Amino acid sequence: MMIREVPQNFKLTYSQEDIAYRVYKMAGQMRHWVKDAQVNDGQQVLAICILRGGVFFFADLLKQIPYTVEPSFCRAMSYSSESNTQSEEFRLVVEPAEMKGRHVLLVDDICDSGKTLKHLHAYALENGAKMVKTAVLIHRNHAASVYTPDYIGFEYTGTEWFAGYGMEDKNHNSNFPEVYTIPCQ
Ligand SMILES: O=P(O)(O)OC[C@H]1O[C@H](OP(=O)(O)OP(=O)(O)O)[C@H](O)[C@@H]1O
Q: What's the CATH code of the domain at 111?
A: 3.40.50.2020
Give domain status of residue 81, yes or no: yes
- Domain with 61, as residue range(s), is 16-159
Q: So what's the pLDDT on residue 93?
A: 67
Ligand 1 atom with minimal separation from the 168 CA: 18
What is the C-alpha separation between 7 and 66, in angstroms, rounded?
37
Cβ(53) – ligand 1 distance below 6 Å: yes
Q: So what's the pLDDT on residue 161?
A: 97
Give domain status of residue 179, yes or no: no
Are the CB atoms for 164 and 177 separated by under 8 Å? yes
Among residues 60, 108, 109, 112, the one annotated as catalytic is: 112
Give domain status of residue 134, yes or no: yes
Contacts of 132 (CB under 8 A, 6+ apart): 104, 105, 106, 121, 124, 125
Give domain status of residue 5, yes or no: no
Cβ(104) – ligand 1 distance below 6 Å: no
Give domain status of residue 59, yes or no: yes
The Å distance, Cα 28 to ligand 1 centre, comes to 25
Ligand 1 atom with minimal separation from the 116 CA: 4
Q: Is 112 part of the annotated catalytic residue set?
A: yes
pTM: 0.94
Work out how many domains the chain is built from and give that number.
1
Order of strands, edge to edge, in the sheet holding 86-94? 86-94, 69-79, 45-51, 103-111, 131-140, 151-156
Q: Which of 81, 90, 116, 118 is the pocket-test mutation for ligand 1 (most atoms within 8 Å of CB)? A: 116
Give domain status of residue 6, yes or no: no
pLDDT tens per residue across all 185 residues of the chain = 788 899 999 999 999 999 999 999 999 999 999 999 999 999 999 999 999 999 999 999 999 999 999 999 998 888 877 777 877 565 666 666 688 999 999 999 999 999 999 999 999 999 899 999 999 999 999 999 999 999 999 999 999 999 999 999 999 999 999 999 998 86
